[in-house]
Amino acid sequence: MLVDVEAVEQSPLGSVLGRVRSQVGTVVALWKGDPADLGRQHYVEWTVDDDIAWLGNTWPASSAAPKLSDERDQIVFRGQLHLTEDGAAFLDVGAVSILFDLADPSPPQGADAMWVEVRVARDSVSLWPYDP
């Protein structure tokens, strides 16, 4: 996903946070690139340490449109859920797929290709810049 790096700052806990804007929303997450990247565009890979837990942090979405947003200390991903045969999942958010593991309770039958919202702690989301 191509993002604009709008701000990079040190958190009180010592990690580096980056505020990034994409075509589907703006969020603040752990920045794994150079802190001097402020004002630049980068392709990033999203890493989420939290698992999908149906009706715990993941629910059917009220809208079928991709979205990224901040809500207090959480990041909200809205996208189309895809379940894999090996017990994992990925979420299509715009033009990017974000990998997730599944926790109990897992999504019900019929959830494959469903639009969902996943809410995870901000400090469980890392952005890794790369050159395509």
Query: What is the per-residue pLDDT across 34-55, written as a single tens digit (0 to 9) for each?
Result: 888 888 999 999 999 999 999 9
pLDDT of res. 87? 84
pLDDT score of 86 more than 90: no
Tell me the pLDDT of the chain averaged across its residues: 94
pLDDT of residue 38: 82
Q: Phi and psi at residue 14, in whole multiples of 5°?
A: 95, -10
- Residues whose CB falls within 8 Å of the CB of residue 13, separated by 6 or more in sequence, listed in order: none
Distances (CA, A) of 123 to 18, 31, 41, 72, 107: 11, 10, 22, 12, 24
Q: How many angstroms separate the most distant Cα atoms in the chain?
A: 46
Residue with the larger pLDDT of the pair 71 and 95: 71
C-alpha to C-alpha distance for 62 and 78, rounded to whole angstroms: 10
